[in-house]
Structure 1
Amino acid sequence: MNALEDTFFQQLTYACSEIKQSFTRSIGMSQTRRQLLLLVAQKGEISHAALQRQLSLDGAMITRLVKQFEAQGMLSRRLDPRDNRYTLVSLTDSGRSIVADLSAAHGDFQAQLLDGISREEQEAMVHVLERLRTNLHHIQELKRSAQ
Structure 2
Amino acid sequence: MCESVSDTHENIQDLTLLRRRFGHRLARLATLWRRDIDHDLRRFNLTDATWRPLYYLRSLPQPVRQTDLARALSVEGPSLVRVLDVLEKQGLVSRDVDPDDRRSKLITLTSSGAAMANHVLQAADKVGSRLLEGVSDGTLRECLGVFDQVWAALQRSREAEDPDPEAGRRVSSESSERAS
Supply the AA of the counterpart residue of 2:52: Q
TM-score scaled by length of structure 2: 0.58
Gaps of 5+ in 1: none
2:18 pairs with 1:5: yes
What secondary structure is seen at the aligned counterpart in 1 of 2:108? Answer: strand
Q: 1:45 to 1:113 in 2, by over 3 A?
A: same
Change (3 A) 1:124 1:46: closer
Size of the aligned set, in residue pairs, is 142
Query: Cα gap change, 1:127/1:51 in structure 2, threshold over 3 Å: closer, same or farther?
Result: closer
Residues 1:130 and 1:26: Cα distance change in structure 2 (over 3 Å): same
The partner residue of 1:26 within 40, 43, 55 is 40
Aligned-pair RMSD on alpha carbons?
3.6
Q: Which runs of 5+ in 2 are unaligned?
A: 1-12, 162-180
CA distance in structure 2 between the partners assigned to 1:118 and 1:18 by the alignment: 21
**Larger RCO (alpha carbons 8 Å, 6+ apart):** 2
Q: Percent same amino acid at aligned positions?
A: 21
TM-score, scaled relative to structure 1: 0.68
- Report the Cα offset of residue 98 of structure 1: 0.8
Counterpart pick for 2:66 among 43, 48, 56: 48
2-side partners of 1:139 and 1:91: how far apart? 32
Tell me the residue number matched to 2:80: 62
Return the offset for 1:82: 5.8
Query: What is the DSSP-based 3-state SS (H/G/I as helix, E as strand, rest coil) of the residue aligned with 1:117?
Result: coil
Aligned: 1:121 with 2:134: no
